[in-house]
């Protein structure tokens, strides 16, 4: 069964600290993996997109990694800011994007 599991479900850290969010998937055949940031009440915004051959991709203070062998991805946030408070959603595409599977997201709270 195609599934995307994210952990932790929620995370609270202090402003300026780093954090890492995890995404494990059981999706086959794998096409690509994306991380989205969703502010409360807003639409998700794409952070990174990685295909099978890509191990890492950065977008400013956000760095995503992908291990296609273990079917794991992580999103590392460096020097967190209050504006990073949001839900982070991992999305995996199946079979040349005919189907996509959403994770339930990690809710990140940044405290001043």
Partner 1 sequence: DSGVTQTPKHLITATGQRVTLRCSPRSGDLSVYWYQQSLDQGLQFLIQYYNGEERAKGNILERFSAQQFPDLHSELNLSSLELGDSALYFCASSVGTGHYGYTFGSGTRLTVV
Distance set, CA 47 to CA 28, 76, 84, 112 (Å): 23, 12, 12, 23
- If binding is defined by CB under 8 A, does position 49 make contact with partner 1? yes
Considering only residues 48, 65, 80, 93, which one is a binding residue for partner 1 as defined by CB under 8 A? 93
Considering only residues 29, 43, 60, 112, which one is a binding residue for partner 1 as defined by CB under 8 A? 43
Spatial contact of 21 and 107, defined as CB atoms under 8 Å apart = no
Smallest CA-to-CA distance from 11 within 80, 72, 92 is with 80
> Near partner 1 by CB under 8 A, which window of 18-26, 59-67, 68-76, 100-108?
100-108
Query: Minimum Å distance from CB 75 to partner 1?
Result: 16
Query: Minimum Å distance from CB 34 to partner 1?
Result: 8
Query: Minimum Å distance from CB 16 to partner 1?
Result: 28
3-state helix, strand, coil in the chain (%, to 5): 5, 60, 35
State how far the Cα of 73 lies from the Cα of 89, in Å rounded to an integer. 12
- If binding is defined by CB under 8 A, does position 42 make contact with partner 1? yes
Binding site for partner 1 (CB under 8 A): 31-32, 41-46, 49, 89, 93, 96-100, 102-105
């Amino acid at each position: 069964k195609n599934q995307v599991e994210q952990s932790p479900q929620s995370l609270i850290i202090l402003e300026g600290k780093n954090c890492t969010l995890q995404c494990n998937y059981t999706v086959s055949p794998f096409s690509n993996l994306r991380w989205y940031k969703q502010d409360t009440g807003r639409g998700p915004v794409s952070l990174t997109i990685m295909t099978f051959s890509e191990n890492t991709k950065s977008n400013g203070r956000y760095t995503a990694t992908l291990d296609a062998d273990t079917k794991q991805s992580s999103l590392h946030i460096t020097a967190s800011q209050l504006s990073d408070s949001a839900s982070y959603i991992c999305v995996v595409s199946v079979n040349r994007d005919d189907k996509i599977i959403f994770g339930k997201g990690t809710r990140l709270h940044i405290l001043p």
